[in-house]
Amino acid sequence: MSQFVSNIEPNIIDDEMVQKAIEENCPEDLGDLARREIINWKVVKELQLSFKSILQIDNLWPLENLTKLQLDNNVIEKIEGLQSLVHLVWLDLSFNNIEVIEGLDTLVKLQDLSLYSNRISKIEHMDTLQELQIFSIGKNNLTILEDVVCLRRLKSLRTLNLSGNPFCREEHYTLFVVAHLPNLVYLDFKLVRDSTRKVAALKYRDLTKPLEQEEARVLALQETQEAKQKELEYHQTAFVEYLNGSFLFDSLYEEDREAAKLAFLPGVEDLLQAYKEEFVSVCGNLFNYGLEEYEKREAEVSKFYKRYHEILAVNQEESKRIISDFESRNQRRLDELYQAGSGDLAECEGAQGKEEIRQLWDALMTLEALVSSDLEELLQDFKRSIDVVASTFTESIQGIFNQCRDLENEHHKKLMKIVIATQEKLDMDPFDDSLPEDVQRLFEDKKTIVNIINMAHSVRLRKIDKRESDMLCNIYQWQISETEKAFQTENDRNRACIGKILCFINTLQKELDNSDPEA
């Protein structure tokens, strides 16, 4: 390659080159007029830039809908500037001077990738190309056969070309590759036979088995994690994440070091245990209630959208009817006008046509007005029911959190009693050794211990308040966003619809004017 390139000026891709390539790609008999009109790069799907002595890829970012790109037979040294072409399905970079596989991470739709005849020495950075079916990396500088193992992660890979690499000379090269990539159908332009596959599997089972086990383990782990994540997400949408079980309770005592010490006091342990049980059960109620309410909210929303779509469907039918009625008449009129040429008859027809268009306009606008007023009513209803759902939820939540607070207060009172009793006891008998030293140190001063306990109590109360306000905040946000979304959807629809009617009427008007030869 290089000997040809040496006497040709290396290029960087620029707009001119792209434009030219696009035009070249056009069919021959496409009119010149049309050819000139292709200016919108966004719609270009395929582009061929072969044999252009390109050294550096650049300026391709506007072609965002490109699905097929051929950059073969150039002098490209680095894969770059392709990140934004996320719709690429086919990418040809063969016969270049590429040394490293890189910059392909975002091209997740890629199915066919050719890096044939380059200078690549390692297979890497390809894990995101899960759709890849055909991969050609023949005639490169690959030396380590074990690198092939990383292609196992490409689940869709069926065709692979590795021929012409240094490692192909190794003994059992084919068997090694087939054993590690059992899903391959074609390897180096040849069909992989079942018999080969069996022999390979047998030969390398000591190597592949641990790999398989490891993969299975990772997969299982991933699945459980995903399931967990999914459940958590579900709980989050219901605003009750971490409310099943003792998460909330545990978080109350998270930074409370004194509590652990106090647990040594007689009776405190039991007290704490009872408190925990009750608290967790209240949390459980909250959790279940939250899930129930979530289903209710979802039902309410889907009910609204069902009705909304129902109304739209009727609207669509009605307007279709109006338009088709009109169009059948209009077509006849236009034909007549065309035949009538000029004269009184044509004039009369034209006037009538105008009148009909006006009537159509009226009919469509009336329909839209009616429908949109009905939809407005529906939206108001929806807003009301959303408000009701949200406010009942808020009230119930507040009630349940009040229970939590009551529990906390009661616990606090009981604890205080025990502490004061202990304090008094210690005051009476300062040399009681029944308590560990660090616990005893707490009781040096009545004020300190009371302060500590009060502090811990208020911290816990604050935490409960925080969780409550989080939930209330969430439900409020849900209420606002759901309502807003619904109103916005309808608003957009209404605007678009009226815009379209206007446009339609204008077009009809123009058509009529055009067919009137005198105008």
> Which part of the chain contacts another protein (CB under 8 A), choosing from 24-32, 159-167, 226-234, 401-409?
24-32
Q: Which is nearer to another protein, 27 or 447 (CB)?
A: 27
Q: Which string of x and - marks every residue 455-494 that binds another protein (by CB under 8 A)?
A: --------------------------------------x-
* One of 57, 364, 456, 475 touching another protein (CB under 8 A): 364
Do 186 and 192 form a contact (C-beta atoms < 8 A)? yes
* Interactions with another protein, residue window 32-51 (CB under 8 A): 33-35, 37-38, 40, 42-44
Report helix, strand or coil for 190: strand
Q: Is 31 in the site for another protein (CB under 8 A)?
A: yes
Q: Is 29 in the site for another protein (CB under 8 A)?
A: yes
Q: State phi, psi for 136 to the nearest 5 degrees.
A: -120, 120
Q: Which is nearer to another protein, 3 or 339 (CB)?
A: 339
The span from the CA of 350 to the CA of 353, in Å, is 5
Q: Which is nearer to another protein, 441 or 500 (CB)?
A: 500
Tokens of 125: 């950075």
**Cβ 243 to another protein shortest distance, Å:** 37
Do 290 and 396 form a contact (C-beta atoms < 8 A)? no
* Interactions with another protein, residue window 370-429 (CB under 8 A): 370-371, 374
Q: First CA to last CA across the chain, in angstroms?
A: 66
Q: Which is nearer to another protein, 233 or 374 (CB)?
A: 374
Report helix, strand or coil for 130: coil
The span from the CA of 364 to the CA of 374, in Å, is 15
* Interactions with another protein, residue window 304-323 (CB under 8 A): 307, 309-316, 318-320, 323
The residues, ordered by sequence, that sit 6+ positions from 351 with a Cβ below 8 Å of its Cβ are: none
Reference 333, options 518, 505, 511, 519; nearest CA is: 511
* One of 399, 473, 500, 518 touching another protein (CB under 8 A): 500
Cα 243 from chain centre:
27
**Cβ 156 to another protein shortest distance, Å:** 20
**Cβ 357 to another protein shortest distance, Å:** 14
**Cβ 496 to another protein shortest distance, Å:** 7
Q: Is 21 in the site for another protein (CB under 8 A)?
A: no
The span from the CA of 214 to the CA of 415, in Å, is 52
Q: State phi, psi for 356 to the nearest 5 degrees.
A: -65, -40
The span from the CA of 508 to the CA of 333, in Å, is 12
> Which part of the chain contacts another protein (CB under 8 A), choosing from 21-29, 132-140, 171-179, 197-205?
21-29
Q: Three-state SS across 45-72?
A: CEEECCCCCEEECCCCCCCCCCCEEECC
The span from the CA of 41 to the CA of 22, in Å, is 9
Total residues binding another protein (CB under 8 A)? 46
Binding site for another protein (CB under 8 A): 26-27, 29-31, 33-35, 37-38, 40, 42-44, 307, 309-316, 318-320, 323, 364, 366-368, 370-371, 374, 493, 496-497, 499-501, 503-504, 506-507, 510, 514
